[in-house]
Amino acid sequence: MIRQNNQSVLSLKASTTADRSRIGKVESSFLPKIGLEAGVAEQREANGVGDTAPFWKIDVSTNLYRGGRDKLGVLVR
């Protein structure tokens, strides 16, 4: 009963749960990221003549050295 209602115990349990949920986010910041985008762009001239053109884009980024900001972010979290 005391453990269930003690504010310190409840606070520590909540803090532990929050820390566990952040682990995946911290690890994921070091993984490469890939983004894909595709669509059709339509352009119209002033005289009403139109043209469509498909487009696509691939973005790839990886986390290299960022001046210690990653370590700082882990410590802040």
- What pLDDT, in 10s, does the model give residues 40-70? 988 888 887 888 889 999 998 887 766 666 6
In the chain, how many domains are there? 1
Instruction: Note the pLDDT of residue 35.
Output: 92
* % of the chain residues with pLDDT over 90: 16
Instruction: Note the pLDDT of residue 49.
Output: 83
For the chain, give the number of residues.
77
| Enclosing domain of residue 60 | 2-76
Instruction: Note the pLDDT of residue 12.
Output: 77
Distance CA 68, CA 70 (A): 5
